[in-house]
Each structure stands twice: as C-alpha cells, then as structure tokens.
Amino acid sequence: MFFLWLYMFYSCAGSCSGLATRGSPAPPRAAPPLPQLPPGEPGEENSLEEQRAAPDAASPISTFFNGSGTKRLPQAIIIGVKKGGTRALLEFLRVHPDVRAVGAEPHFFDRNYERGLAWYRDLMPRTLEGQITMEKTPSYFVTKEAPARISSMSKGTKLIVVVRDPVTRAISDYTQTLSKKPDIPTFESLTFKNRTTGLIDTSWSAIQIGIYAKHLENWLLYFPIGQILFVSGERLISDPAGELGRVQDFLGLKRIITDKHFYFNKTKGFPCLKKAEGSSKPHCLGKTKGRTHPDIDQGVVQRLRDFYRPFNMKFYQMTGQDFGWD
C-alpha cells in the first residue's frame, strides 16, 4: 500500500501540478534554504568552509525519505582523534545507505552536556529502521568525562577511534593552528619545557593528544576493548576501502563501500570519493585538508619519536594492533 501511495505521489507531482496551473506558466520553485549548522570551534575539523563545500543536495526521493523516520540517539560515535582522519572517515561512511550522520561536530559530551539528551537527539538526522545514526567529535577521546557520559547514555554504543603516528599528528595539529595564528611560537619551542634538558611539554595539547595509551585507559573503565574499533589514519589513506571494510563489519553493515568508490588525488595526496552522498560528482575534502607541513628540526622529531615510543608500545599491546609508527 505504501509503495502504491508513493507511486501515485510522484506520478501526480508532474501531472497534477500542470493541471493546477493550466493556462499560465508555473512559477519557478524556490530552492529550499540551507540547513543552519552550528559553527565549528576554532581549530576543529569541521570548518564552516567544509560545511559549505558539502556534497550536492540529495535527490527528491532521498529528500522524501530523509523527511520520514525517527530521530535517535547515535548507536556509534567517532570519538577521536583530532587530525587523525576523522572527517575523511565520516565522509566515506556517509556514502553507505544505512549510515546517517550529523555533518557538524555536536561536542555534546564535552561542551554541551548540560543541554541534555533531548537537545542532543534533536541534532541527529532522521533514520529508518535498520539505519545507523552516527556523529563524530574528535575531542571526546581526550575528555575525561566523556566515557562515563556516553556509557550513561548507552553502554552498547560502538566507538571508533582514528589514530595516526603521534609525531605526524602533532605537526599536523600545529600546522592547522599556524594557519589561523601565523604569529604563534615555533613548533620546536612549544615542544619542550626545557630545550637544554630535552624535557617534553606534555601540557601542550598537540603533544598530549598523542599519548593514546593514557587516554584509552580511561575509556576501558567504561567500555570493553571489543566495543572500540581502532582505525589507522595511515591505512585510511593508503587503503581506504580496506579500512572501510573493517568499519562496516564492526558496525554490522553490508560491505557496500569498496574500491570502486575511491580515486587517489595526487595533488592533495589522499583518496577522494568518486561520488559523494547525494551527489553524482567526485568529492574531495576541503582545502583545509592536506596542508603542507612546515619543516621541523629533525633532532626535535627524533626526540619526539623517542618520547612516544613506550606509549606506542603500550597502545599496541592494549589494542592488539601494531600500527607501525616506529
């Protein structure tokens, strides 16, 4: 009955409108207003530029279905890490017909928790039965209160962490900040509490985020390790289909996103989608992705590698994965 009604609805969409305006040309339909997304915080991965550069609007049939369904709290969350590849993963996942995700970062479990779950749920897209609701906010991974808060919402929430060589990640983090604040101190000067002694300044967020083992310990107080998927930021670039296969399996989805969805953009240096969600055009992430890193003193880079090595080894043991950063 539903599909009969749907057929009549779309059949009438063309013919009935003509009957209603016979004798005079139909006025052009105004384009629907763009959704007002909450602005991203400075330094976050979802800049307003990227939101404006989102894929084309969905087809009429997609729009129709997106207007139905129910707003649900997310069953899966990409919780980190900043500059690890979370935006790429989310954009790739949104190609899947059974994934519906918020484009902007809600920052509910770190900055907006006092607004309540009803506010959070209202940010979510509508989903049909069998579809998964998702969001991504990379700062959750390093927020002490986030694990308990997410567990309080649902102990069954599936968590995804995109990790990347912590040294490269720190330099990428600095590069992003430098693009917004060109007068900040050098990477080398921010890295050390004391350059002479070589003591690393772990209070600097660019360094602190990369101590993955420390942050993971906090999450394991509330979630079993099997409920957290660790995605390699490096493999997300070198083998996006392979990593997406693991993610789809983890989420209980059919493996629909495959090699045929990607092409490698040599200019940007990372994979792009041949067709993004709701679009027939190729789609690469915005110009804020793939920035050229500044030259960093190799002695400082080596000191950072030595600093991170024991933490990396512990992280490999905790996750059962060797990410090959050493």
Active site residues: 83
Separation of alpha carbons 62 and 57, rounded Å: 9
87 assigned to a ligand binding site: yes
For residue 175, give both structure tokens: 């590069």
291 assigned to a ligand binding site: yes
172 assigned to a ligand binding site: yes
83 assigned to a ligand binding site: yes
Separation of alpha carbons 245 and 75, rounded Å: 18
299 assigned to a ligand binding site: no
Classify each residue of 278-299 as buried b or exposed e, where b means 16 or more C-beta atoms within 10 Å of its C-beta: bbeeebbbbebbeeeeeebeee
169 assigned to a ligand binding site: no
281 assigned to a ligand binding site: no
What distance, in Å, lies between the first and last C-alpha atoms of the chain? Answer: 60
Separation of alpha carbons 127 and 226, rounded Å: 26
Alpha-carbon distances of 207 from 73, 128, 188, 192, 210, rounded to whole Å: 32, 41, 12, 10, 6
3-state SS assignment for residue 294 = coil
Residues 6+ apart with CB under 8 A from 55: 276, 277, 278, 279, 281, 283
86 assigned to a ligand binding site: yes
- Residue count (the chain): 326
Dihedrals φ, ψ of 68, to 5°? -105, -175
Strand (E) or helix (H) holding 193: strand 192-194
Separation of alpha carbons 58 and 278, rounded Å: 4
**Residues tagged in the binding site annotation:** 83-87, 164, 172, 289-293
Known binding residues for 3'-phosphoadenylyl sulfate are 83-87, 164, 172, 289-293
